[in-house]
Structure 1
Amino acid sequence: MTAARAAAEILHRAAGFRPRVGIVLGSGLGGLADRIGDAIAVSYRDLDGFPVPSVEGHAGRLVMGQLGGQPVACMQGRVHAYEGNGFDALKTAIRALKLAGCDTLVLTCAAGSLRVEVGPGRLMAISDHLNLLGANPLTGPNEDSFGPRFPSMTDAWDPDLRALMRRKALEQNIDLVEGVYAAYPGPSFETPAEVRMLKVLGADAVGMSTVPECIIARHCGLRVAGCAVITNLGVGLGDGPVDHDQTLRAASAAASDLERLLVGFLEGLNEEDGRRP
């Protein structure tokens, strides 16, 4: 099993270390990995079956160590459906984190806002999602050792973890909203008509990632929390064009708030442990 081999390599590279929290960093958000203490970095190319990103802003390495008092394994970069390589490598990566010891997955991403009052630089805790990619990463034979054939997506984005994220945002005076994230195929940005359609469907933000990781993670029993960095207003909702350079610039500008929020969130997991029966 490819995921088992990758997990064994992760544990071998970081002898004596067992991660509890997996983190996936989106476009322009890789700087959080630089804050990890006692860090051990492994290229995705050295982990059997891991995805190798081809998009600017995605470094393509796994960084392990201590952050916010938690042992973490941080995926610095991700792959997307539009890169055309399917979901096998993504499944391998998420499942390898599970086998290596993770019980929680935190997903971050850059996204375009569909609400004019939530502009660039804001953070949005993901409360639910719309999978509009035209594909599901669990399509094909089910791997029963990881999860059921028909996994529930009720509360896919863990409400307790989201409540913790809200508390930490409030404590640190970070402006955090909540909303529904729509995953759109890309790589072209949405048209103004598509933006209007997404609003009718109930989406608050749109991006090209994140949902497949959530589905894979929930299938294998990981708890999932997510935070989107709003980098632009959807086409037709604001002035000027939307492009990837703008996404990277805006994500970089908001990265400080995201980093503070996630470190506080990780510190708060110990508090949450004390409340659970």
Structure 2
Amino acid sequence: MEKGDTIINIGPVDVALSYRKEIMPDQGLMVQVFGDIDGHDTEILRFDCFDQDPHYHYGPENMNIRLHMDKTTVGTPLGWTLKNIRTNLPAMVRRSGYDDLAMAVEAQGIDENKMDEVEACALGKSRDERRTVTHFRGDHIYEAGNIRFGVEFRSNIGAANDRGVAIHVLTDHLGQEFELLAFDCFEIAPHYHYGPRNQDVRIYWDTTTSGNTLAWTLEQFKSGNLASMIDRAGYPTVAANVDNDLVQAVLPSMEEKAWALVGTNQQ
């Protein structure tokens, strides 16, 4: 793995920080520990402090032991990572297979002022570089109790000029409308978002198994999966108050409009 874009020397090792947002089902700060091994700048430890699957690697360039963080017990993955770099670094370096470097860390210690700088930078990058998405609400709105659906046909999306029907699941909070889920039923790269303004978990359909993505999306609404999907997006209170009868009542007109948009925009 390439060395992160922000590098801070804390004594015998460097700490490198980089926010990874290109992993569409996940995102978060990557914290790396680098040291000099026989004249080579070597990645000793890597901590992937991701939202969904936080984990860390002992010796990525050596044995590459990958272990998962239990979010229930570690608290925040980034906080756990910084604590272990401060208090447990020699043991972790040694387990990575670099005994001489571990002894150097034990002998020299780490610069606590520089670790304070690492922590401030890490927290700032985690806050400021987070990937979120703000979509247009859609041209055609369908009210269903505490949620509403917005339907539109999008075109000229990205470098590939993708296009297709988009369905937005929306709600109101503190006087503002925001998006809970988004289903982008595009022709080239169809995908959907859990919590576009929250953790933005972005999942690309395997159209070999899903079939037509618009039909798949509508089937989730028909089969009663909507509340569970809203809950996964990070909005359990909204999910608990979804009135499935109201959802089912608006589905026929929404489905008719969605398929009509497909027909109108066929090339």
TM-score range, shorter chain: under 0.3
More strand by share: 2
- Please identify the structure whose Cα radius of gyration is greater: 2
Q: Answer 1 or 2: higher relative contact order, Cα 8 Å, separation at least 6.
A: 1
